[in-house]
Structure 1
Amino acid sequence: METILPIKGKVKYAITLDASVWIFDDRKIELEDFLKFDDSIKKNENDYIRAQAERWERERTGIKPPVNKSIKRFEKERVLTGSFVIPLKPFLSNAEPTQDGERVQLESSDGNQHVLTMEEAMNGFLRFSKDGKPLREDGPTHFYFGDGSNGSDPFKNILGITVI
């Protein structure tokens, strides 16, 4: 199964995403943690901004924190066994939807099309792994609303995103 996900339609830049590389992306969030959040989008954005600020400060000052090998091992284990989601907002923003692009259509391999408002899409998350492996049976991605309201029944088999 391909893990390629195009963003097209009423956008300035049609882009293609590869869900198989998101496991290396710092913006990924464990699914369990995502489903626990009440205001997940704001918290995740703040955590991401804080982490980037700390990283920038380390780079600027040249201070290298000591690396603990057990932490590395734990991170590797977590990646190999975890289930993850990633925010859709950065990808959708990079495609730069046009002014007349008011809705987002999620296209699935089973022929279903889910139409969302731009706000719902910008606040949404894409699940790309289960137990450390890509979603093969009902993937390549699942869509979750930002508030986790469809946590038990996400939109599955998402193959493309079209701004309409």
Structure 2
Amino acid sequence: MEAIILITGKVNHTVTLDPTLWIFDERRFEMKEYFPDIDGLGMEFAPFLAHAEPQVDADHVVLHQQDGTQIPLSLKAAQQAILQFAEQGKPIGSDGPALFYLNDGSHRNQPIGSIRKVEVK
């Protein structure tokens, strides 16, 4: 299992995310701050997406999962997403390296996992 997630596509900078290092990032937070019934540590996705600098005509993203599944989302939904990178003090296991939660809570019981790439379109 790879421990990285790429942000590619209509961006000015391709970004490589390594969620295993986020434990040292001061921006991390308890998932309970967003979702009271979810344990673990998370990060907002927006700063990483902003660092990639989506091009002005970009309006959505496609999450590419390890099994080849592609999940389209609006750029706005992606900008508001939360990535969970640890659970019970350990990195996310087989569904990792991070679990993708939409901020509206619609995926709180089934977060999007096994993400290998976020393609901005």
User: What is the TM-score normalised by the length of structure 2?
Assistant: 0.92
1:134 corresponds in structure 2 to 91
Stretches of 4+ moved more than 6 A in 1?
A: none
Alpha-carbon distance in 2 for matches of 1:131, 1:110:
26
Specify the code of the residue in structure 1 equivalent to 2:3: T
Q: Is the 8 Å Cα contact of residues 19 and 141 (structure 1) preserved in structure 2?
A: yes
Q: Is the 8 Å Cα contact of residues 108 and 160 (structure 1) preserved in structure 2?
A: yes
User: What is the TM-score normalised by the length of structure 1?
Assistant: 0.69
What percentage of aligned pairs have identical amino acids? Answer: 39
Q: Is residue 157 from structure 1 mapped to residue 114 from structure 2 by the alignment?
A: yes
Shift of 1:113: 1.1
2:70 corresponds in structure 1 to 113
| Correspondence 1:13-162 to 2 at 5 A | 13-36=13-36, 83-162=40-119
Shift of 1:154: 0.8
Alpha-carbon distance in 2 for matches of 1:18, 1:137:
15
Equivalenced residue count is: 120
Structure with the higher strand share, 1 or 2: 2
Unaligned runs of 5+ in 1: 37-81
Alpha-carbon distance in 2 for matches of 1:85, 1:148:
14
RMSD value, Cα: 1.5
Structure with the higher helix share, 1 or 2: 1
Alpha-carbon distance in 2 for matches of 1:3, 1:148:
25
Unaligned runs of 5+ in 2: none
